[in-house]
Amino acid sequence: MLPPLADLLASARVVSLPMHTRFRGVDTREALLFEGPEGWAEFSPFLEYEDAEAATWLAAAIDFAWRSQPAPLRERIGVNATIPAIEAARVAEVLARFAGCRTAKVKVAEPGQTLADDVARVRAVREAMGPEGRIRVDANGAWNVDEAEHAVHALNEFDLEYVEQPCATVPELAELRTRVKYMGIPVAADESIRKSSDPLAVAREKAADLLVIKAQPLGGITHALQIITAAGLPVVVSSALDTAIGLSQGAALAAALPTLDYDCGLGTASLFLDDVADLRPVEGSIPAGRVTPDAAALTRLAADDDRRDWWLDRLSRCYETLTAR
């Protein structure tokens, strides 16, 4: 049962967060926040998503704002640093923003860049973190199987924790996993879970060693937990470049898991110059409680009127999509 649309619109605030470094092709991150009986929630599907996909993000936000969530099993969540596809010379500067993080996720396979750029970036991370740091790379499905195998060979010297979504399709992931298994580098699936009509295909086809799970794209914590249980694979809970409000939803998901063997991708507040609340990592972790936006920050970061209208219209359309399901 959905709450009335008027209840969502009544508290809706649209914000635009500036970023330290361009990431996913943007240098600001827009989000719509609203408050329900349980607290604040975030609706922030990426701009290019059609309403059918974006509506699932709205379902997640409504679930978080209107329904109680599973009891937390831990108070803090270990998180990783996130290194965008930057020049190797800037790696130390970016790492310094992630206080105490001993794991880093490094973006690779950026359009317009080369494998040599990726190798240089990952090498710089290894040099900055030392031999005890954990490094994972994320290709966002950009490689074919041969390219991915070549890249994994080239990056293997840096002792990777895992490679995330190296190829776009489940069959490609399965083939690559077979090819690189002898190197001991696990394969993680992200887009093959959150953008798939069959998120369990990865586990069924033995195409990955672990799953990267994001609460918003999967329709909320309850549905994400159902997928995790059915898949039976280790999990890394990650963000979708969320504000502090969305990060708190991811943290609630991570806190509800019986086991959490990996640092989570929930430290991305450090990618922003400003946020609606401060959820940057402290000693490599963030708290697992709900977050309330700062009133002054909501005013300071308010989006322009035309962007606000765009988001409110999108919210209304996605709400209608949900009512038709």
Is 138 labelled as part of a ligand binding site? yes
134 and 64 housed in the same domain: no
CATH number (domain holding residue 313):
3.30.390.10
Is 164 labelled as part of a ligand binding site? yes
Using the CB atoms, write b or e for 191-202: b if 16+ within 10 Å: bbbbeeeebebb
31 and 133 housed in the same domain: no
What is the β-pairing status of strands 26-36 and 13-23? antiparallel
124 and 36 housed in the same domain: no
Question: Would you state the pLDDT for residue 69?
Answer: 96
159 and 43 housed in the same domain: no
Continuous segment of H or E residues that includes residue 84: none
Is 305 labelled as part of a ligand binding site? no
Domain hosting 99: range is 76-294
Residue 105 bears catalytic tag: no
101 and 186 housed in the same domain: yes
290 and 305 housed in the same domain: no
Instruction: Find out whether 246 and 31 touch, Cβ atoms under 8 Å.
Output: yes
139 and 244 housed in the same domain: yes
85 and 158 housed in the same domain: yes
Q: In whole angstroms, how far apart are CA 97 and each of 20, 147, 284?
A: 10, 32, 11
Residue 107 bears catalytic tag: yes
127 and 198 housed in the same domain: yes
CATH number (domain holding residue 244):
3.20.20.120
Per-residue pLDDT of the chain (325 residues; tens, 9 = 90+): 899 999 999 999 999 999 998 877 789 999 999 999 999 999 999 999 999 999 999 999 999 999 999 999 999 999 999 999 999 999 999 999 999 999 999 999 999 999 999 999 999 999 999 999 999 999 999 999 999 999 999 999 999 999 999 999 999 999 999 999 999 999 999 999 999 989 999 999 999 999 999 999 999 999 999 999 999 999 999 999 999 999 999 999 999 999 999 999 999 999 999 999 999 999 999 999 999 999 999 999 999 999 999 999 999 999 999 999 9
118 and 15 housed in the same domain: no
User: Facing residues of 13 across strands?
Assistant: 33
Q: Which DSSP string corresponds to 288-312?
A: -S-----HHHHHHTBPPHHHHHHHH
Catalytic residue among 107, 181, 195, 206: 107
Question: Would you state the pLDDT for residue 208?
Answer: 98
- How many Cα neighbours within 13 Å face the side chain of 55? 14
When divided into structural domains, the chain yields a total of 2
Q: What is the pTM of this model?
A: 0.96
What is the β-pairing status of strands 210-213 and 187-189? parallel
267 and 176 housed in the same domain: yes
Question: Would you state the pLDDT for residue 52?
Answer: 97
18 and 107 housed in the same domain: no
